[in-house]
Amino acid sequence: MTISETAAKIRSGELKAVDLAAEHLKAAHTTGKELNAFITVIDQAIERAKQIDEMVARGEDPGVLAGIPCTVKDVIMTKDIRTTASSRLLENFIAPYSATAVERIEAAGAVIIGKTNSDPFAFGGSGENSGFGPALNPLDRERVPGGSSSGAAAAQAAGIGMFALGTDTGGSVRQPSAFVGVTGFKPTYGRNSRYGLIAMASSFDTVGVLGNSVEDVALVEEVLAGKDSNDATTYDMPVPAYSRDLKESVSGLRIAVPEEYFSEGIEPLVEQRVEEALEKYRKAGATVERVSLPILKYAIAMYYVLVPSEISSNMARYDGVRFGHKDFADYDENLRKTRGAYMEDEVKRRVMIGTYALSAGYADQFYNTALKVRVKLTKEIETVFKSYDLIAGPTAPSVAFKLGELVNNLLQMYLSDIYTVTANLTGCPAISIPCGMGAGDMPVGLQLMAKRFDEQTLFNAAHFYQTSR
């Protein structure tokens, strides 16, 4: 059942939100635990579900997500509930307020059943950096579910929660979605509020959605999108009824496929599945053309200079005064010792890389150069969108890898973001949808990217593929 079908049954009283919540909570405590998908399971969800049923009984309308069980990545704040960012640095942190994204889905009737595991502060692409141990891929528990929204993807693919809120700074919603075979969407930068999201890289961060279908994800995005007075980077633009307006025709759609996407490093079966998917678009009347965008070669390099730089600045607040542990009375001693003890290795690594890239003498060479190239990339992508509606390709160069396989090969690990970071560098919306199976019988993701604020075209094209099978 889709989210809207389920919500309709709850709004009519045919289905009880409390029964649905109980079922999903049970799965969170059993399968969810085996997969290490959750940091906190929210048993109070039962009370919340009861309230939804009571509203229905009183003849009130709880909203388009009435009684829909869902999960929230633990870098997104939930009032009065532990929010750890999957880091030991915040293991006891109780959020004083809820993120706007959380408030919006709750105002639409959603029932949050748990906080999902991830890489700490969303730094990573496999979930293995988590201070709480890695989440496992439900399709093959020896493999990672991708990351950093690893628990979100694991739970979603295991049928725990009907949608998952994740965050995408460089691919953390799309790549895990591809690795577990679900739909993952990252909005235009500034479309969804970041208020109450624990910052990673502020000019890249977005709140995104993982779901069972494009239709479900589009519906949740309608609830999330729009101006928020608490986030000055959000835009005051009307939010279309994405899910109602979904079109299945792609006739006349113009799709660009960068040839740089198919160079070394891509698994043959990933390439083949993506080609087959593109063929489907061609047959349905879309134009699919190869384009050359040599600048894409530098996307990963830009990303891994700019993102750690923003990280190093955002991590300054974990000093034991504002946030973090306060085990020692002396400020300097506390800073040194608690960061040493509670920051995961990847967190330390990124702070060090960012501090270096921003330091006097190196800022011009690294940070400022990367900023300039980011502007150039954005312009070149805009130029492509003058002639094309979408840019398509694989979501990731490989299928889900084995746990431990890349932990000692960081470069390879970072390269797993090679196709996803461009959307974050340029602020464009993008989606990953499953497009068949690759090596090891693991799912492959097709990525589509649209110009800023053109979410509708993105959803339409992805919906076409999902419903044409």
Selected from 36, 172, 192, 193, the binder of ligand GLN by CB under 6 A is 172
Rg for the chain, CA atoms, rounded: 21
Smallest distance from the beta carbon of 393 to ligand GLN, in angstroms? 17
Specify whether the CB–CB gap between 151 and 117 falls below 8 A. yes
Smallest distance from the beta carbon of 46 to ligand GLN, in angstroms? 31
Query: CB under 6 A: which stretch of 50-58, 167-175, 221-229, 288-296 binds ligand GLN?
Result: 167-175
Backbone angles phi, psi at 464, to 5 degrees: -55, -50
Smallest distance from the beta carbon of 350 to ligand GLN, in angstroms? 8
Which residues have a Cβ under 8 Å from the Cβ of 430 and sit 6 or more positions away?
Answer: 174, 185, 186, 420, 423, 447, 448, 449, 450, 458
Q: Which is nearer to ligand GLN, 170 or 394 (CB)?
A: 170
Q: Which is nearer to ligand GLN, 86 or 148 (CB)?
A: 148
Specify whether the CB–CB gap between 220 and 209 falls below 8 A. yes
The span from the CA of 117 to the CA of 84, in Å, is 9
Residue 171 within binding range of ligand GLN, rule CB under 6 A: yes
Q: What letter would DSSP give residue 210?
A: E
The span from the CA of 246 to the CA of 249, in Å, is 9
Query: CB under 6 A: which stretch of 40-48, 165-173, 227-235, 397-405 binds ligand GLN?
Result: 165-173
Stretch 119-158 residues interacting with ligand GLN (CB under 6 A): 122-125, 148
Smallest distance from the beta carbon of 355 to ligand GLN, in angstroms? 17
Residue 260 within binding range of ligand GLN, rule CB under 6 A: no
Query: Which residues are the active-site residues?
Result: 73, 148, 172
Q: Which is nearer to ligand GLN, 45 or 200 (CB)?
A: 200
Three-state SS at 290: strand
Residue 428's closest CA among 381, 360, 466, 367?
A: 381
Query: CB under 6 A: which stretch of 136-144, 152-160, 166-174, 251-259 binds ligand GLN?
Result: 166-174
Smallest distance from the beta carbon of 161 to ligand GLN, in angstroms? 20
Specify whether the CB–CB gap between 419 and 261 falls below 8 A. yes
Residue 465's closest CA among 243, 288, 255, 248?
A: 248
Q: Which is nearer to ligand GLN, 41 or 199 (CB)?
A: 199
Residue 211 within binding range of ligand GLN, rule CB under 6 A: no
Residue 344 within binding range of ligand GLN, rule CB under 6 A: no
Specify whether the CB–CB gap between 42 and 116 falls below 8 A. no
Residue 168 within binding range of ligand GLN, rule CB under 6 A: yes
Q: Which is nearer to ligand GLN, 270 or 277 (CB)?
A: 270
Q: Which is nearer to ligand GLN, 52 or 199 (CB)?
A: 199
Three-state SS at 447: strand
Q: Which is nearer to ligand GLN, 286 or 305 (CB)?
A: 305
Residue 200 within binding range of ligand GLN, rule CB under 6 A: yes
Residue 232's closest CA among 344, 100, 392?
A: 100
Smallest distance from the beta carbon of 379 to ligand GLN, in angstroms? 23
Smallest distance from the beta carbon of 454 to ligand GLN, in angstroms? 21
Q: Which is nearer to ligand GLN, 179 or 195 (CB)?
A: 179
The span from the CA of 439 to the CA of 385, in Å, is 33
Residue 7's closest CA among 109, 157, 155?
A: 109
Residue 427 within binding range of ligand GLN, rule CB under 6 A: no
**Omega within 30 of 0 (cis) for the link into 148:** yes
| HSE-CB for 270 with a 13 A CA cutoff | 25
Smallest distance from the beta carbon of 204 to ligand GLN, in angstroms? 8
Stretch 40-79 residues interacting with ligand GLN (CB under 6 A): none
Number of residues that bind ligand GLN (CB under 6 A): 14
Selected from 216, 389, 417, 455, the binder of ligand GLN by CB under 6 A is 417
The span from the CA of 296 to the CA of 391, in Å, is 12
The span from the CA of 71 to the CA of 21, in Å, is 11
Three-state SS at 30: coil
Specify whether the CB–CB gap between 402 and 443 falls below 8 A. no
∠ Cα 403 408 411 (to 5°): 105
**Chain contacts with ligand GLN (rule: CB under 6 A):** 122-125, 148, 167-172, 200, 307, 417
